[in-house]
Amino acid sequence: MTNHWVDLKNADVIIVMGGNPAENHPISMKWILKAKKERGAKLLVIDPKFTRTASKADLYVPIRPGTDIAFLGGLIKYIIDNELYFKDYVINYTDLSYLVDPNFKGPEDLDGYFSGYDPKTRKYDKATWKYQLDEKGVPKKDPTLKDPNCVFQLLKKHYSRYTIDMVVEITGAPKEKVLEAYKIIASTGKPNKTATICYAMGWTQHTVGVQNIRAMSIIQLLLGNIGMAGGGVNALRGESNVQGSTDMGLLFHVLPGYLPTPKASWVDLKTYIEVNTPKTAEPKSLNWWKNRPKYIVSLLKAFYGDYATKENDFCYSYLPKLDDNRTYSWYDIFDAMYKGKIKGFFAWGQNPACSSANANKVRKALAKLDWLVCVNLWDNETSSFWKGPGMDPKKIKTEVFFLPCASSVEKQGSITNSGRLAQWRYKAVEPPGKCLPDAEIMNELYHKIKELYQKQGGVFPDPILKLNWNYGDKHVDIEKVAKEINGYYTKDVASHPIDKKAYKKGQQVASFVFLMDDGSTACGNWIYSAAFTEAGNMMKRRGKEDPTGLGLYSNWAWCWPLNRRIIYNRASVDPMGNPWDPQRPVIKWDAQNKKWVGDVPDGPQPPLAMEGGVLPFIMKPLGVGTIFGAGLADGPFPTYYEPVESPFKNLLYPKVHFNPVARTYDSPDDKFVVGMDPKYPYVGTTYRVTEHWQTGVMTRHTPWLLELEPQIFAEIDPELAKEKGIKSGDKVIVSSPRGEIWAIAIVTERIRPLIVQGKKCHVIGIPWHYGWKFPKNGGDSANLITPNVVDPNTFIQETKCFIVNIRKA
């Protein structure tokens, strides 16, 4: 989230698109309903299904799954055609006026492709996706927005065919509802109006997942809603600490604090720093990532302690390297496992046999392992995969180890929520039996592996033997981990360059501003620096003061970065530092005392127009919000492509059909159809219900929840039900190119058939909370029929739209 949960109460318009917070983030509804009641805010829900969130909406717009870019592209066109963008904001704070390389071409010129497409590799060469630079290296601009190569004109051209009729043809959404939604959203392009967007998996789980979110980011920039109270782009995150684990380097391509994972070709620290430290010629840009060297060196000091010295590159060579041009995402891992290239696997706090798309492939892949370690609260479909449906235990060699672990209430530590708020939690009860907290299991594992290396040697023991690992021998002191994450001085510093003060070895650093690239500081994750200072554990704070009335609650726990509750907040003021909306000032420049008041600003520098002032988007090398997103794999502007599997044509770009750089896999178990197949004429989609959690391992064993939602079901509309002779409560078979599952039919008007391209689009919705193991008659995972075709940026699977059929069992 750019903003935070409580901030939803400040919005004038709340757009819920690609999420269902009433079911999946129920507490958020408290703030949404407060905004409705107290501000008269409008709630818009745009979803294929009439959800519980939709039941509270002022306007509900049904939409065909996977067509959001058409809807949002049409909105961008509407904003441009009616000049409803926030002019001062876009001219000062975005790249809308920047000139782009004249050799850049878009899908309007090239039949659906951007310039640089290579059909052999199915990748783009991005050489033309860049701005024109002046002699100083600063992008050329046309503040009149008239130059045909400026971002504004390119954007206008890109969406010129996303007309209202086209949007309706593609999405199936009723025309008058689409127009009403556009009108309400675009009404927030004024300085004193804001809209917020709440999205989750309904947007991400597509082969255009990232571009769905970019489309809305562009809209929020055009309307001047980023940085504002009640604005922003807000990802409602999933697993309770998924924000925290992403911050800590859960994904293969980043180390803690979003530092890129080293690649093989970045042979030493110097190269790593050169490649990854952006430079800028823009004089008013803070270009925050120029500090990368301080963060990577401090991280290496945290990892390898005294062994990490300037002379040995701070042990950079100990870090594992990614092969160039290779990815190691979830689906890559299981593909390699399926092909017998992985011997052992830790399924730590996960249940891939049910959660992964195309779970059949995963289940087969697990059988190729020599060993599998499952760390979990319960035995589940992954730890028992070898005795699951279609498996012959006699033929499976995989040795499975199960390590029982303590649940969240049986251990202490921090949990970071969607609003980047890290809150400390305490142990409520002792774990049962031999269950241990995850950190203790990890600790024991580390000491055992170290012991083996000490005894037996090995190919490359140093990265293990020299690891700086002092969290306790038997029992882990989790606060020691938190202190290391914050960072500390590794030696006495006589006069720190930042404040000329002296610091002692072992003292906690006050924030990442004090981190150095000379080895004098260690820091486990720079974005969490300031969470555990000399003043103590900030995540334990429980102050309830709210002086601004905006619900910032700055003394409640701690959020990254630097306890800034709304990021990009320098964009909430005009270039003189006056809030665009004086009724909801996030920050304000106090000219007399020459400082900011309100939230922690994105840098203490004066406002843009003053001497020493800086641009608001400090994490961007050019300091502005980028509407031209040249960093993505699939193009600088979100483009409408059909889902890979779809019973409909791509009306806008008939020659490409689906995202030309989407990733697919090619083993015999990677079955998918491009486009339509008369055998599967309907659109399948998967989602959650409040009563269950994820693959259901935690909720299927909870009798009262199971009583509420005992079995897998398939929701279908009454027309299709009639056609197929299906009644509520009937057992049905839902099939896809990957297989079949049974489910209990629920005939409901929540999912209505839409008219798309002159024919009926029927959607069949299935929750993915079940598994064969328990309860006996609960059904198996919906993922036995979902495709593992993935987005080219994040490699997330397209589990929100695929082709299916349905019949009575």
d(CA 226, CA 90): 11
Per-residue x/- track, 549-588, ligand MGD (CB under 6 A): ----------------------------------------
Span interacting with ligand MGD, options 116-124, 338-346, 452-460, 695-703, rule CB under 6 A: 695-703
- Of 238 and 349, nearer to Mo ion (C-beta) is 238
> In the complex with ligand MGD, which residue's Cβ is closer, 577 or 765?
765
Q: For residue 116, state whether it binds Mo ion (rule: CB under 5 A).
A: no
Count residues contacting Mo ion (CB under 5 A)? 1
Using CB under 6 A as the binding rule, whether residue 321 contacts ligand MGD is answered as: no
By the rule CB under 6 A, 402 interacts with ligand MGD: no
Please report, for residues 48, 202, 658, the alpha-carbon distance to residue 205 in angstroms, rounded to integers and kept in the order given: 14, 6, 14
Is 239 a binding residue for ligand MGD by CB under 6 A? The answer is yes
Residue 258's region, left for phi above 0, alpha for psi from -120 to 50, else beta, is left
Residue with tokens 């994904």: 251
The answer to whether residue 241 forms part of the interface with ligand MGD (CB under 6 A) is: no
Residue pointed to by tokens 């919906």: 782
Contact code string over 417-446 relative to ligand MGD, x by CB under 6 A: ---------------------x--------
Pick the binder of ligand MGD from 29, 57, 315, 405 (CB under 6 A).
405
Q: Which member of 50, 378, 446, 774 binds ligand MGD (CB under 6 A)?
A: 378
784, 389 in Cβ contact below 8 A?
no
Told to check if 349 binds Mo ion by CB under 5 A, we report: no
- Residue 292 or 773 having the CB closest to ligand MGD: 773
Judged on CB neighbours under 10 Å (0-12, 13-18, 19+), 135 is: exposed
Do the bridges between strand 682-687 and strand 763-767 make them parallel or antiparallel, or are there none, so unpaired? Answer: parallel
Identity of the residue, 97 or 699, whose beta carbon is nearer to ligand MGD in the bound complex = 699
Sign of CA dihedral 453, 457, 459, 460: positive
**Judged by CB under 6 A, does residue 773 bind ligand MGD?**
no
Q: Is 774 in the site for ligand MGD (CB under 6 A)?
A: no
Report what 327 binds from ligand MGD, Mo ion, none; CB cut-off 5-8 Å by kind. none
- How far CA 501 is from CA of 423, 504, 532, 533, 603, in Å, comes to 31, 10, 20, 16, 21
The two three-digit tokens of residue 786, written as one number: 């979902």
Using H for helix, E for strand and C for coil, what is the string for 24-69?
HCCCHHHHHHHHHHHHCCEEEEECCCCCCCHHHCCEEECCCCCCHH
- For the CA atoms of 547, 548, 549, 555, the dihedral, rounded to the nearest 10 degrees, stands at -50
- Per-residue binding string, ligand MGD, 715-754, x by CB under 6 A, is ----------------------------------------
Q: Which is nearer to Mo ion, 238 or 461 (CB)?
A: 238
Query: Alpha carbon of 729 to those of 49, 103, 116, 709, 716: distances in Å?
Result: 20, 59, 53, 13, 12
636 makes contact, choosing from Mo ion, ligand MGD, none, with CB < 5 to 8 Å by partner type, with none
- Strand residues in 238-349 grouped as ranges (E): 254-255, 259-260, 344-348
**Of 75-83, 257-265, 598-606, 685-693: span binding ligand MGD (CB under 6 A):** 685-693
Closer by beta carbon to ligand MGD, 185 or else 229: 185
Does the protein bind Mo ion through residue 238 (CB under 5 A)?
yes
Out of 76, 255, 373, 377, the residue judged to bind ligand MGD by CB under 6 A: 377
Residue 70 and residue 162 in contact, taking contact as beta carbons nearer than 8 Å: yes
What are the structure tokens assigned to 696, written together? 């259901």
What are the phi and psi torsion angles at 568 (to 5°)?
65, 30
| 783 binds ligand MGD, rule: CB under 6 A | yes
Q: By the criterion CB under 6 A, which residues form the site for ligand MGD? A: 17-20, 23-24, 46-49, 51, 63, 65-66, 68, 200-202, 205, 238-239, 348-352, 355, 357, 375-378, 380, 405, 407-408, 438, 685-688, 690, 692-695, 697-698, 768, 782-783, 786, 799-800
